[in-house]
Structure 1
Amino acid sequence: MALVLVTRSTGLFSGRTLLRCGLTASTVLRVLYLGTLMSVPPLLHAQPTAEDGPPPSTLAADMFETVTKLPVTVKDMYGKSIDGQMVLTHFKPPGDGPFPAVIMNHGRDSNQRANPSRYRYSDVARYWLRRGVAVFVPTRLGYGDSGMEQDPEFTGECNSKNFDAAAAVTNVQTLATVEFAIKQPWVNPSKVILMGQSMGGFATVVAMGTKHPSVIAGINFAGGSGGDAVNRKANPCGYHRVAATFEKAAKANGGSTPMLWLYSENDNYWGPDIPRKWHTAYTGAGGKAEFAPFGPVSTDGHSLLAKGMSMWRPVLDQFVRLQGIAIPQATGAPPASGFAAIGDASKLPLVKQDVKETGYVRFLALDLPRALAIGPKGEWAFFSGENVIARTLDRCAQTAKTACKLYAVDDNVVWQP
């Protein structure tokens, strides 16, 4: 199998990216030498990262990235008022809109709150931009450039956690972000979705209790609070108190706002059972939430958002489609053939075993629209992005020196034996 590494401007992975993915330096050099058989467009990484390191020195022009600051005042669990400037990163699809908007709330690291200096979730943002949705990512007070001197989200000691206080703090900042977003002329003020990871998922659940008229749905990725994956693996402090806080949000919302909760069974913070107890508490109090369980993700299912896109993307697509969000599709795609399920790599014809075990996994990790083609001697290629069918067939034909056939387009196997 031949691969090529191309710079971001041409749409493929850099050598640094492949080294991070686990390839040795010698393998990367050999790959660079061999040529190309597959490629990935510039607007999508094969796997999204939860947070992609330090912000770039320049803003992402292709995503219309902008950074601003919002003045907010919160009260910590002791009743002390804390004033600060919340750093807000936002991204916009091309065009004038008005676009739906997503508010993406980040997680919490009580020991490394200064890093990153501002949250971006650029790969998550690319998922939404492809669906014509603007993205707003607040860096809450006490994190990064929004201030490290105080920790407004501190909830107390393990046996006496005050999660209601943390909920009040995050609600102020979530609502401030919503209000900023709906004032932008390119945002649809009646179509805002809240989303969050870990503590950001907690913030998303409790924000349902504010019942903001612009918010149409909530998405909770591995949400919770009180966790310690090192000292209290799968046994978070005061999980019953989190449940009580979620119950209050559910009662205040009255089941008027749908939610999607996504958790992996090997989450080192919550384990497989506690998220279900939280969900039962929320729905039992009148909240409306679908629970989406996933199998293990890497060594810690808490990284579901970062490392499990091939797992959660179809589920999330189904949910957001119900909220009126258009899912990208390849133009001119043939109908599903019924030859195999899209996730069954064992059915791939002609290709070598390593393609089934590794290459196809990379294809499944791509966002839509996407296509994969196979040549008569097992040559193969895939693309994601615009004009994807023609680009995939052309690339495969260049390698095979003859015409190739489509195997899969978007989420369907279209192969005709």
Structure 2
Amino acid sequence: MMKRVITLIFFCLFPVMVHAQYKGETVRIPMVDEGLLWDTDITLEATLYKPEGDGPFPVVIFNHGSTGPGIIPEDVTINPWGFGSYLLRKNIALLIPMRRGRGASDGSYDEQYTCNPEGITEGIEYALESLDATFSYLDSQSWVNKEKIVLSGHSRGGMLSLVYASEHPKSAVGVLNFSGGWVSDTCQVKSESANLSMFKNAGRKIQVPSLFIYGRNDPFYADESIEEFAETYKASGGDLTFKFYKLGQQVSGHSVFWSYWYLWTGVVDDFLFQQGMTAN
């Protein structure tokens, strides 16, 4: 109980402390960018929060969302330093890779904004290649405990984490999905959200537990859609813990990861412990 109180106090004070927070170190992740005529060696920008010492340490990979489209400039580096501080206190490393064409990463941002099923698939496959490079990087690092990796992400990054874990059964011990979805409810396929087939496929193939964290009044997905995401995933075989928070009538549910730490840190504490990422 006392640990939960301390965690709550820490995150309530987070906005005041933010400028004094450690904001990680920048690392470069090698990647081969395949082209029509030739391949190009590029690097991805990533922010690393690593505990002191030689390790090996458990690692959480955080996958960022999209640009909006155009709401967030492509050259902005996503860095959830509050999440990094939270994990460092648990002796867990956090790695935040910027996919091709985002932040200071090389390459082109070509994940597409389309409701066309073929375009959606192509965009996800393009994003997955950056995550492949991220795992190759971690595999080369002696400080990484390769048996204790959790995939996490927000918005498109949450969906990307689920898809990757479903296609690479041994890549992670769990998935943290914050407000995940590849497209908004405006994308309908046969009168249902285009996200549903992705949740169904992931739930059918994934072999590790998942924690879904969403907020009500999300501008991208109706409350009913979010509940259907979770129901579809679980009915397809996914091992799911689902948390759906009410943040307020005028509050965007999509901000639950960034602004409402105090609501979900307890359930994330439990999830990380259950997956063997922490000792207590």
* TM-score under structure 1 length normalisation: 0.57
Q: CA deviation at 1:203?
A: 0.8
Cα 1:81/1:102, change in 2 over 3 Å: farther
Q: Determine if the alignment matches structure 1 residue 69 to structure 2 residue 29.
A: yes
Q: Determine if the alignment matches structure 1 residue 172 to structure 2 residue 129.
A: yes
Distance in structure 1 (CA, Å) of the matches to 2:278 and 2:151: 17
Distance in structure 2 (CA, Å) of the matches to 1:81 and 1:296: 49
The CA deviation string for residues 336-371 of structure 1, in whole angstroms up to 9 with x for no partner, is xxxxxxxxxxxxxxxxxxxxxxxxxxxxxxxxxxxx
Which of these residues, 223, 228, 251, is aligned with residue 299 of structure 1? 251
Distance in structure 2 (CA, Å) of the matches to 1:134 and 1:48: 22
Distance in structure 1 (CA, Å) of the matches to 2:122 and 2:65: 17
Q: What's 1:46 paired with? A: 13
The CA deviation string for residues 165-199 of structure 1, in whole angstroms up to 9 with x for no partner, is 22212222223212211321111011100000111
Q: Judge conservation of contact 2:176–2:210 (CA < 8 Å) in 1.
A: yes
* Residue range with higher mean Cα deviation, 198-207 or 282-291: 282-291
Q: CA deviation at 1:95?
A: 1.7
Distance in structure 1 (CA, Å) of the matches to 2:59 and 2:43: 22
Q: Determine if the alignment matches structure 1 residue 225 to structure 2 residue 186.
A: no
Q: Determine if the alignment matches structure 1 residue 282 to structure 2 residue 233.
A: yes
Distance in structure 2 (CA, Å) of the matches to 1:300 and 1:63: 26
The two structures, once aligned, show a CA RMSD in angstroms of 3.1
* TM-score under structure 2 length normalisation: 0.82
Q: Determine if the alignment matches structure 1 residue 324 to structure 2 residue 276.
A: yes
Q: How many residues align?
A: 265
Cα 1:81/1:286, change in 2 over 3 Å: farther
Q: Determine if the alignment matches structure 1 residue 114 to structure 2 residue 63.
A: no
Q: Judge conservation of contact 1:192–1:214 (CA < 8 Å) in 2.
A: yes
Cα 1:87/1:305, change in 2 over 3 Å: same
SS in 2 for 1:316: helix
Q: What's 1:100 paired with? A: 58
Distance in structure 2 (CA, Å) of the matches to 1:184 and 1:321: 23
Q: CA deviation at 1:284?
A: 2.1
Distance in structure 1 (CA, Å) of the matches to 2:25 and 2:152: 19
SS in 1 for 2:43: strand
Cα 1:242/1:309, change in 2 over 3 Å: same
Distance in structure 2 (CA, Å) of the matches to 1:80 and 1:163: 24
Which of these residues, 105, 116, 127, is aligned with residue 146 of structure 1? 105
Distance in structure 2 (CA, Å) of the matches to 1:308 and 1:81: 45
Cα 1:277/1:68, change in 2 over 3 Å: same
Higher relative contact order by CA 8 Å / sep ≥ 6: 1 or 2? 2
Distance in structure 2 (CA, Å) of the matches to 1:101 and 1:64: 14
Q: Determine if the alignment matches structure 1 residue 87 to structure 2 residue 45.
A: yes
Distance in structure 2 (CA, Å) of the matches to 1:252 and 1:224: 17
Q: CA deviation at 1:224?
A: 0.7
Structure 2 counterparts to residues 360-375 of structure 1, below 5 A: none
Cα 1:306/1:327, change in 2 over 3 Å: farther
Q: Aligned AA for 2:186?
A: P
Q: CA deviation at 1:226?
A: 1.8
Distance in structure 1 (CA, Å) of the matches to 2:14 and 2:148: 27
Q: Judge conservation of contact 2:149–2:173 (CA < 8 Å) in 1.
A: yes
Structure 2 counterparts to residues 2-401 of structure 1, below 5 A: 46-47=13-14, 65-73=25-33, 84-109=42-67, 110-112=69-71, 114-115=73-74, 117-147=76-106, 150-156=108-114, 158=115, 162-227=119-184, 235-238=185-188, 240-253=193-206, 256-296=207-247, 299-326=251-278
Cα 1:202/1:64, change in 2 over 3 Å: closer
The structure whose residues are more often helix, as a share, is 2
Runs (5+) with no aligned partner, structure 2: 1-6
* Residue range with higher mean Cα deviation, 203-212 or 184-193: 203-212
Runs (5+) with no aligned partner, structure 1: 1-39, 228-234, 329-417
Whose radius of gyration is greater, 1 or 2? 1
The CA deviation string for residues 234-267 of structure 1, in whole angstroms up to 9 with x for no partner, is x3323632211222223332xx211000001121
Cα 1:80/1:269, change in 2 over 3 Å: farther
Q: CA deviation at 1:159?
A: 6.0
Distance in structure 2 (CA, Å) of the matches to 1:48 and 1:260: 25
Q: Aligned AA for 1:236?
A: T
Q: CA deviation at 1:44?
A: 7.0
The CA deviation string for residues 1-22 of structure 1, in whole angstroms up to 9 with x for no partner, is xxxxxxxxxxxxxxxxxxxxxx
Q: Judge conservation of contact 2:159–2:181 (CA < 8 Å) in 1.
A: yes
Q: Aligned AA for 2:200?
A: E
